[in-house]
Chains A and B, each alone.
Chain A
Amino acid sequence: MQLIRKFYYGDIPEDAAGAAKAVPAQPASDWPLWEVFIRSKQGLEHKHVGSLHAADADMAIENARDVYTRRSEGISIWVVESKHIKTSSPDAAAELYEPAQDKIYRHPTFYDLPDEIKHM
């Protein structure tokens, strides 16, 4: 029978140390996925930057602020639940995109753009 239990540094049980008691993490699988769009500065469009889990739209905005604007990346955030995004089918790639490939006259390569015009 062990009468005296010695603790060494680093061995102190967490409940005795007064520090955080590890709470097993709940999987976030029941939280929906959200797509995040950030506008980096005034006049530019919102760009897709990634996705995250959140319980509702308000939390998604706050999570996006914490996850995607830590380094001053943005001034405006949009979020939309991923399930609302309809994706084109990869199987339809040929009919959707190939007809455009031989229509070079649609590309603005025949114009000279002044240097002052940015973001084109």
Chain B
Amino acid sequence: MTNASLVDLTLYLADSTLVLGQRNGDWCGHGPVLEQDIAITNITLDLIGQARSFYQYAAQLIGNGCTEDQLAYWRNEREFKNCLLCERPNGDWAQTILRQTFFSFYQRELFAQLLNGNDSTLSAIAEKSLKEISYHCRWSGEWVCRLGDGTEESHRRLEAATENLWPYVGELFIAAPYETAMQIDTAAIKKGWSDAIDTLFTEATLSPVSLSSTFMHTGGKTGQHTEALGYLLAEMQYVQRSFPGCEW
């Protein structure tokens, strides 16, 4: 286990949660109803909180006065390691819900491994986060059932969202070099994730989708992103880049 792999894995966890948090944050004030607006914003705050824990740990590992803000605001697109799924646009409510479901179900499997892993800090962050993630899985999973087994239109929108997002889930189960070094078992994650998603899709009356028969985009984990990330970072980092070190 090298320190560089630990830093990279920590940044992968931080970047993925930050980018998805930033995406979900767009819904603030625009949720379909007030109560769901608050729900998605609560999840966003959980994700940003997780990102902060990971960034603080990464900054501590990197040393030399590195801070969480530097990592979040002063790295460029190619330095971000988030999975592609998290940077995909919000689309409609169905796509936002489905993206959250795919990611939360993935987090649940991954964080269970971190919890039992040999890095005590990652284990502690995972333990705290898993309580949040359980709720995210429950909330987003119920929405998938509600939309899939709802009206003709909600079903159609969720099917469309599946078609849009599915090519980005394959990457989750292909280990980046730092994941291999840190003994993350992506095959086990894939098994747990697929079983849970299959069950959910059956309940939601959605057509089953296969992980093996679809072309899958890759590269996010090692810094090769889709066009969407650049716009997201430009907006998120603008203030710190324009007024370095500004606080309020």
Contact = CB atoms under 8 A, between A and B. Distances in A.
| Same complex origin of A and B | yes
Contact of A18 (B31, B39, B92, B227): B227
A22 B27 CA distance: 9
B66 to A, nearest CB: 29
A53 B43 CA distance: 19
B31 A25 contact: yes
Interface string A1-40: 0000000010010000111111101101001000000000
B146 interface: yes
A62 B143 CA distance: 11
A110 to B, nearest CB: 47
B33 A20 contact: no
B78 interface: no
A25 B32 contact: yes
Given A59-B142, A63-B39, A19 B89 contact: yes
A52 B139 CA distance: 17
Contact of A66 (B23, B38, B90): B38
A83 interface: no
Given A18-B89, A21-B90, A67 B38 contact: yes
B91 A66 contact: no
B30 A58 contact: no
Contacts of A21: 89-92
Q: How large is the interface on B (under 10, 10 to 19, 20 to 34, 35 or more residues)?
A: 20 to 34
A59 B32 CA distance: 14
B247 interface: no
B152 interface: no
A53 B33 contact: yes
Interface of A is mostly: loop
Contacts of A59: 142, 146
Interface residues of A, number: 24
Contacts of B238: 9
A51 to B, nearest CB: 11
A18 B91 contact: no
B82 to A, nearest CB: 14
Contacts of B91: 20-21
A26 B37 CA distance: 12
A80 B235 CA distance: 43
B62 to A, nearest CB: 30
Nearest to B138: A62
28 contacts: A9-B238, A19-B26, A19-B89, A19-B231, A19-B232, A20-B26, A20-B30, A20-B89, A20-B90, A21-B89, A23-B32, A25-B30, A25-B31, A25-B32, A28-B32, A28-B33, A52-B34, A52-B35, A55-B146, A58-B142, A62-B138, A63-B36, A66-B38, A66-B42, A67-B35, A67-B38, A70-B38, A70-B42
Interface of B: 23, 26-27, 30-36, 38-39, 42, 89-93, 138-139, 142, 146, 227-228, 231-232, 235, 238
